[in-house]
Amino acid sequence: LFFSFHSLALHPERVLVATGQVGKEPYICVWDSYTVQTVSILRDMHTHGIACLAFDLDGQCLVSVGLDSKNTICVWDWRQGKVLAAAPGHTDRIFDISWDLYQQSKLVSCGVKHIKFWSLCGNALTPKRGVFGKTGELQTILCLACARDEITYSGALNGDIYVWKGINLIRTVQGAHGSGIFSMNACEEGFATGGRDGCIRLWDLNFKPITVIDLRETDQGYKGLSVRSVCWRGDHILVGTQDSEIFEVVVHDRTKPFLIMQGHCEEDDLIWSLVDHALIARCNMEEPIRCAAVSTDGIHLALGMKDGSFTVLRVRDMTEVVHIKDRKEAIHELKYSPDGAHLAVGSNESSVDVYGVVQRYKKVGECVASSSFITHMDWSTDSKYLQTNDGNGRRLFYRMPSGKEVTNREELKLVQWSSWTCVLGTEINGIWPKYSDISDVNSVDANFNSQVLVTADDYGLVKLFRYPCIRKGESGFVCFLVP
Would residue 465 count as lying in a domain? no
CA dist 341 and 295 (Å) reads 9
Residue-level pLDDT at 336: 97
Please say whether the beta carbons of 155 and 163 come within 8 A.
no
Residue-level pLDDT at 437: 75
Residue-level pLDDT at 472: 58
Cβ-based neighbours of 408, under 8 Å, separated by 6 or more: none
**Closest to 133 (Cα-Cα) out of 102, 155, 166, 90:** 166
Number of domains in the chain: 2
Choosing from 403, 422, 441, the residue where a domain stops is 422
Same domain, 27 and 45: yes
Distances (CA, A) of 47 to 51, 72, 81, 136, 324: 10, 9, 17, 34, 47
* Beta strands 236-241; 227-233: pairing state: antiparallel
Same domain, 208 and 337: no
Same domain, 242 and 281: no
Residue-level pLDDT at 65: 94
- What is the chain's pLDDT, residue by residue, as a tens digit (483 residues)? 334 557 889 999 989 999 988 877 888 999 998 887 889 999 888 888 899 999 998 999 999 999 999 999 999 999 999 999 999 999 999 999 999 988 889 999 999 999 999 999 988 999 999 999 999 899 999 999 999 889 999 999 999 999 999 999 999 999 999 999 999 999 888 999 999 999 999 999 989 998 898 988 877 777 888 999 999 988 888 888 887 778 888 877 655 555 544 444 455 556 655 566 566 566 777 788 888 999 999 999 999 999 999 999 998 888 999 999 999 999 999 999 999 999 999 999 999 999 999 999 999 999 999 999 999 999 999 999 999 999 999 999 999 999 999 999 899 989 999 999 999 998 998 888 777 777 788 899 999 998 999 998 877 678 888 898 887 544 444 443 433
In 262-416, the DSSP E strands lie at: 268-272, 279-284, 289-294, 300-305, 309-314, 320-325, 331-336, 342-347, 352-356, 362-367, 374-379, 385-390, 395-399, 404-405
Please say whether the beta carbons of 231 and 249 come within 8 A.
no
**Closest to 305 (Cα-Cα) out of 282, 329, 284, 321:** 329
CA dist 188 and 53 (Å) reads 22
Same domain, 246 and 321: no
This prediction has a pTM of 0.62
Which CATH number do you get for residue 103? 2.130.10.10
Would residue 165 count as lying in a domain? yes
Same domain, 328 and 388: yes
CA dist 186 and 208 (Å) reads 13
Would residue 126 count as lying in a domain? yes
CA dist 293 and 342 (Å) reads 12
CA dist 256 and 279 (Å) reads 12
Cβ-based neighbours of 134, under 8 Å, separated by 6 or more: none
Please say whether the beta carbons of 292 and 262 come within 8 A.
no
Same domain, 100 and 249: yes
Please say whether the beta carbons of 401 and 408 come within 8 A.
no
Same domain, 79 and 194: yes
Same domain, 247 and 285: no
Same domain, 210 and 332: no
Would residue 479 count as lying in a domain? no
Per the document, the length of the chain is: 483
Would residue 125 count as lying in a domain? yes
* Beta strands 362-367; 461-466: pairing state: unpaired
Distances (CA, A) of 271 to 101, 244, 314, 344: 43, 16, 12, 21
Would residue 399 count as lying in a domain? yes
Please say whether the beta carbons of 170 and 163 come within 8 A.
yes
Would residue 473 count as lying in a domain? no
First-residue to last-residue Cα distance in the chain: 5
Same domain, 42 and 169: yes
Choosing from 242, 261, 280, the residue where a domain stops is 261
CA dist 354 and 402 (Å) reads 8
326: three-class secondary structure by DSSP: coil
Q: How many CB atoms lie within 10 A of CB 115?
A: 27
Same domain, 357 and 410: yes
CA dist 318 and 303 (Å) reads 12
Please say whether the beta carbons of 116 and 96 come within 8 A.
no
Residue 383 domain boundaries? 268-422
Same domain, 193 and 240: yes
DSSP state of 204: -
Residue-level pLDDT at 101: 85
Choosing from 422, 438, 456, the residue where a domain stops is 422
Would residue 475 count as lying in a domain? no
Residue-level pLDDT at 184: 95
